[in-house]
Chain A
Amino acid sequence: MPELRKTPLHAFNVENGARMVDFAGWSMPVQYESIIDEHKATRSSAGLFDVSHMGEASIEGPDAEAFLDSVLTNDVSGIEIGQAMYSLICYEHGGVVDDLLVYRIAKEEFLLCLNASNTQKDIAWLNANKDAFDVGISDVSDSFALLALQGPETREILKDLTAMNLDDLGYYRFQGSDVAGVSCLVCRTGYTGELGVELFVAPTDADSLARSILGAGQPYSVKLAGLGARDSLRLEAGYALYGHEISETISPVQANLMWTVKLKKASDFVGKAAIRKEKETGPKRRIVFFKTGGRRIVRAGASVLVEGEEVGSVVSGAFSPILNEAIGSALVSSNADDSKLSVDIRGNELALIPTKPPFIELKP
Chain B
Amino acid sequence: MNLPDELKYTKDHEWLKLLENDEALVGITDFAQQSLGDITYVEIPTDGDSFETGASFGVVESVKAASDLYMPVDAEIVEGNQALEDAPEVVNQSPFEEGWIAKIKLTNPSQLDSLMDAAAYSEIAKD
Contact = CB atoms under 8 A, between A and B. Distances in A.
A35 interface: yes
Nearest to B85: A295
B61 A297 contact: yes
Interface string A226-261: 001000100000000000000000000000000000
Nearest to A34: B38
A31 B61 CA distance: 17
A228 B63 contact: yes
Interface string B22-40: 0000000000000001101
Interface in A275-296: 294-296
Contacts, number: 39
A179 B92 CA distance: 38
Chain A CB count within 10 A is highest, among B38, B64, B92, for B38
A30 B59 CA distance: 23
Interface in A211-239: 228, 232
A264 interface: no
Contacts of B63: 35-36, 228, 232, 297, 318-319
A228 B66 contact: no
Chain A CB count within 10 A is highest, among B37, B59, B88, B92, for B37
B41 interface: yes
A228 B38 CA distance: 11
Contact of B66 (A30, A37, A232, A346): A346
A132 to B, nearest CB: 47
A295 B88 contact: yes
Interface in A299-343: 299, 318-319, 326
Contacts of B41: 294-297
Interface residues of B, number: 12
Contact of A326 (B38, B40, B64, B89): B40
A297 B40 contact: yes
The binding surface of chain A is classed by DSSP as: mixed
B37 A34 contact: yes
Nearest to A294: B41
B5 to A, nearest CB: 27
Nearest to A348: B43
Contacts of A31: 37
Contacts of A346: 59, 66
Contacts of B38: 34-37, 319
Nearest to B92: A34
A294 B61 CA distance: 12
Interface string B68-99: 00000000000000000000110010000000
Interface in A196-212: none
Contacts of B66: 297, 299, 346
A34 B38 CA distance: 6
Contacts of A232: 63
Contacts of A228: 37, 63-64
A346 B43 CA distance: 11
A220 B89 CA distance: 24
Interface string A15-35: 000000000000000110011
Nearest to B65: A299
Contacts of B64: 30, 35, 228
A31 B88 CA distance: 19
Contacts of B37: 31, 34-35, 228
Given A232-B63, A319-B40, A346-B59, 19 more contacts: A31-B37, A35-B38, A35-B63, A35-B64, A36-B38, A36-B63, A36-B89, A228-B64, A294-B41, A295-B41, A296-B40, A296-B61, A297-B40, A297-B41, A297-B61, A297-B66, A319-B38, A319-B63, A346-B66
21 contacts: A30-B64, A35-B37, A35-B38, A36-B63, A36-B89, A228-B37, A228-B64, A232-B63, A295-B40, A295-B41, A295-B61, A296-B40, A296-B41, A296-B61, A297-B41, A297-B61, A318-B63, A319-B38, A319-B40, A319-B63, A346-B59
Across the A-B interface, the 4 shortest Cβ-Cβ residue pairs: A295-B41, A36-B38, A319-B40, A35-B63
